[in-house]
Structure 1
Amino acid sequence: MSTLNQAHCEACRADAPQVSDEELPVLIKQIPDWNIEVRDGVMQLEKIFLFKNFKHALAFTNAVGEISEAEGHHPGLLTEWGSVTVTWWSHSIKGLHRNDFIMAARTDEVAKDAEGRK
Structure 2
Amino acid sequence: MTEQLKTQVCEACRADAPKVSEEELAQLIKQIPDWVPVVRDDVMMLEREYKFKNFKLALAFANQVAELAEAEFHHPSILLEWGKVTITWWTHAIHGLHKNDFICAAKTDELLS
TM-score bucket (shorter structure)? over 0.9
Shift of 1:40: 0.5
Q: Mapping of 1:49-60 within 5 angstroms? A: 49-60=50-61
Q: In structure 2, what is the equivalent of residue 42 of structure 1?
A: 43
Q: Using structure 1 for the length normalisation, give the TM-score.
A: 0.93
- CA deviation vs aligned residue, 1:22-70 (integer Å, no higher than 9, x gap): 1110000000110010000000000000000000000000000111100
For the aligned residue pairs, the C-alpha RMSD in angstroms reads 0.7
Matched, 1:71 2:67: no
Shift of 1:4: 0.3
Q: Distance in 1 between matches of 2:63 and 2:103?
A: 18
Q: In structure 2, what is the equivalent of residue 13 of structure 1?
A: 14
Q: Using structure 2 for the length normalisation, give the TM-score.
A: 0.97
Query: Which ranges in structure 2 are unaligned for 5 or more consecutive residues?
Result: none
SS for the counterpart of 2:111 is helix
Q: In structure 2, what is the equivalent of residue 29 of structure 1?
A: 30
- Amino acid of the residue matched to residue 74 of structure 2? H
Q: Mapping of 1:94-113 within 5 angstroms? A: 94-112=95-113
Q: Percent identity?
A: 64
Q: In structure 2, what is the equivalent of residue 61 of structure 1?
A: 62
- Aligned residue-pair number: 112
